[in-house]
Structure 1
């Protein structure tokens, strides 16, 4: 990648989850910023940027949306879906804060549609429709994530929309990272879901609850493989209950139906983790329908329970680029990494 710091990523996929490819390249979307003195400040100005991946590596293709066009003060993670016409792209994303307002940690789910074209083999996105709020938190199943200041225990969540169409019945679902609306427990993480009914997204009860266990189940997404449903998410070790000693890693569950019941893969739910000696090595693993896994280089070499407190040390350690990829081997309830080091295609 030739641009600044990049992190949370997702690919352009057909509605069935299969990764789109054209001219020998896949299209990927990242959160991105210029290189800042303190990499933790990136969350306050993040925007979505597009890149492509082929056997010759990465190419940068610039910002997805015009400056100041989306309804938040910054853009956080989502997903990108290509219609069957091969041209219409829907991007689901998190609008964080309010455009032109004070910095807050309010999170809302939005979607917009545009057109994908190619000019001399280079992808071009244009013609975005005005962003529409997909679905709003109800305060019952899901807390309204409207905090002005980030508490030490972590902010509430209503973010990271991910589209999934169930191949067995054609129902369309939107997964997201949420905070349970019915508890005051600091460990209130859930994986939320909305289902499209009569053309509108309708909130449903969470697919997975982690009350008393974890406060952040981030970037949830489902793939359908070998007749089973696999649900994946990422979580920081420090967001788990301390007595668990759970690592920062990629976690997952499996079910025979989208509605569940969901069972932890590998017995524990852990699919891949950072090494003990480098607990912040990578983060935000994204699993494609083909079983490829991408993440970003976070703070390799950092130790302890938190990233370094000194901004200069954080800057010196922060990767802000794509981590080495790997693939997963699926065997029913067992999902294990297979390291390849080769480009994803």
Structure 2
């Protein structure tokens, strides 16, 4: 099988606010930030400690009989458990008491108090645990959108998707593999909304998804205490190499009114983009009134106009790594 091009995500150390804003952030590419102080959570968040601090607060979780979760076809069910019971089950490899199968996998993505209106916030849903976690101050406080608490069973793999806000994935405990794809490769990922239809990225069905091989893959393995900067619109797929706990911090890097105000998850397309996509649908319906050869001709003209108006043709858009990686070699490592 033809091999997909792979690139190692660069690793930065000694990343304070100035280094992040001047060397990492301008590149608009993923970067692992190692050695950042996340607080005592890295040492404290054992299964027993989490169960004690989280208590019996009920949480809604994903349960799947297979570790490769598929959001598009919903190969999982939702269940509600007390947090302390969930944590203990997620840390197990086999279960004597189960919903679907003895080796079922569990996944928690925390939600706001009012799931339809409020974004997740670690300090509100799990205030005792939030005291252990230090949010990196890489952005202005008024730009903060959400802090999402995530816990997953060993081996759990989440579908490839993108988010519309910048975010930091803090891997507090356990190791996690993350594969990322740049926004420019969206046409190779067989999108259904914000998610890719290619579920198995390691052994893709190239008869169904022949273009997928053209997407350049960026790889990293997060160690406990690592941060991963994921710029908005970068696709990402995660695989838990161990039972793991993490926190995602999302922030608004566009003006606040650019985002859908009724979106507590932070994954709806920006208002202008959603409006443009709706307009496109109306244009396509209009073309349906024409004979096939006319639809083909005017469709190609539309594609050309979209490319000319929106595609980034400068060298920056094709850069695979930030230019700053060539500077200050003591701060950057390419080892995974």
**TM-score, normalised by the number of residues in structure 1:** 0.27
The structure with the largest alpha-carbon Rg is 2
| Greater percentage in strand | 1
Higher RCO (CA-CA < 8 Å; seq separation 6+): 2
TM-score if structure 2 supplies the norm length? 0.28
